[in-house]
């Protein structure tokens, strides 16, 4: 197969994980030098951790925000954004579901995106629940919101032990129900519910494709596994370009 997305397939759902941002210089979570090798998840990425030590957790995410802002989208992110343009221009439906919180997909030009694990560029008040864009990088202490309760602000991230944001799972499942193809890129396939979406797509008879540097834990669930780096594989293989000499071939 030359292309992942073929001409008749106009309804596409893509799901990405940390692997797609690796070539931008953002650490993945698992494996050698992964973020979770140097941090205990329950000490930085859980509601209990934030209650116990809000300053430490706030600073952990502040450092990650600074890092993400200093990185640029790579050819993998750009190819996904280009695929969306192509599908949209052809009158199809496209949804990008990302587990990443680094904002690189939107900076690459992706429009229809669900950030299912939240965003480093958003903050939420623990008292009133208001969510707002926040790219500030110089606040060593978690600030208080100016609502009547003066609630502490926290990263708008889905931590371990928390549910996805209301409505996200319904929107994701509804897009998969309607899609022709479900493409999963750069994720180890161990964190649920994201890792289980391929089962859902399979149960509906959808075509499922995985692009990953190493075989993920759930590799046998995909119709097709393409082993390689997203930034190299996607520009060549995600969809056919009109201009044979141009970008990505
Ligand atoms: P992981 O770090 O678990 O997995 C990254 C995957 O990307 C691995 O399977 C790598 O082989 C692959 N990979 C690395 N470089 C790649 C490249 N250049 N091209 C393609 N693939 C590459 O990251 P996730 O699966 O995204 O959750 O982790 C899922 C969730 O676990 C994260 O969203 C985060 C974490 O705990 C929260 O923080 C809620």
The pLDDT assigned to 194 comes to 98
Counting from 1 in the atom list of ligand 1, the atom nearest the Cα of 216 is 9
Helical segments of the chain, H only: 19-22, 35-38, 41-44, 47-52, 54-70, 75-89, 104-108, 168-178, 197-203, 230-237
pLDDT tops 50 at residue 42: yes
**Residue 247 pLDDT greater than 90, yes or no:** no
- Give the position, in ligand 1's atom list, of the atom nearest the Cα of 230: 19
Q: What is the pLDDT, as a whole number, of residue 244?
A: 45
Select from 24, 26, 29, 228 the residue to mutate for testing ligand 1; criterion: most ligand atoms less than 8 Å from CB: 29
Q: What span, in angstroms and rounded, lies between the C-alpha atoms of 133 and 122? A: 4
Q: Which residues span the domain enclosing 40?
A: 27-70+119-157
On whether both 133 and 218 belong to a single domain, the answer is no
pLDDT band, residue 248 (cuts 50/70/90):
very low
Within a domain: 170: yes
Select which of 77, 105, 112, 117 is catalytic.
117
Active site residue 105: no
Is there a domain that residue 2 lies in?
Answer: no
Residue 4 lies in a domain: no
Rounded mean pLDDT, 71-90: 97
**Structural domain contains residue 129:** yes
Predicted confidence (pLDDT) at residue 243 exceeds the cutoff of 70 = no
Of 101, 133, 157, the domain-final residue:
157
Q: What is the pLDDT of residues 175-231, one digit of tens each?
A: 999 999 999 999 999 999 999 999 999 999 999 999 999 999 999 999 999 999 999
Residue range 147-169, pLDDT digits in tens: 999 999 999 999 999 999 999 99
Which residue out of 14, 16, 18, 119 has the highest number of ligand 1 atoms within 8 Å of its CB and is therefore the one to mutate? 18
pTM assigned to the model = 0.94
Q: Residue 245: pLDDT above 60?
A: no
Phi then psi for 185, rounded to 5 degrees? -130, 125
Q: Nearest residue CA, atom 19 of ligand 1?
A: 229
């Amino acid at each position: 197969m030359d292309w992942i997305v073929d001409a008749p397939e106009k309804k596409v759902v893509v799901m990405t994980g940390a692997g797609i941002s690796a070539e931008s210089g953002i650490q993945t979570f698992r494996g050698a030098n992964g973020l979770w090798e140097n941090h205990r998840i329950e000490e930085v990425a859980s509601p209990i951790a934030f209650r116990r030590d809000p300053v430490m957790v706030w600073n952990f995410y502040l450092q990650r925000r600074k890092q993400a802002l200093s990185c640029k989208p790579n050819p993998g992110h750009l190819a996904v954004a280009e695929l969306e343009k192509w599908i949209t221009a052809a009158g199809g439906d496209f949804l990008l579901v990302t587990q990443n919180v680094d904002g690189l997909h939107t900076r690459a030009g992706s429009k229809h995106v669900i950030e299912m694990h939240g965003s480093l560029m958003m903050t939420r008040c623990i008292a009133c629940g208001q969510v707002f864009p926040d790219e500030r990088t110089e606040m060593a202490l978690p600030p208080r919101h100016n609502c009547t309760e003066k609630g502490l602000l926290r990263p708008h991230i889905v931590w371990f032990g928390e549910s996805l944001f209301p409505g996200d799972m319904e929107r994701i499942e509804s897009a998969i129900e309607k899609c022709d193809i479900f493409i999963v890129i750069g994720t180890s396939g161990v964190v649920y519910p994201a890792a289980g979406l391929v089962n859902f797509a399979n149960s509906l008879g959808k075509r499922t494709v995985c692009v990953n540097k190493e075989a993920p834990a759930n590799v046998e669930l995909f119709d097709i596994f393409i082993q390689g780096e997203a930034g190299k594989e996607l520009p060549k293989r995600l969809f056919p370009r009109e201009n044979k000499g141009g970008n990505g071939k």
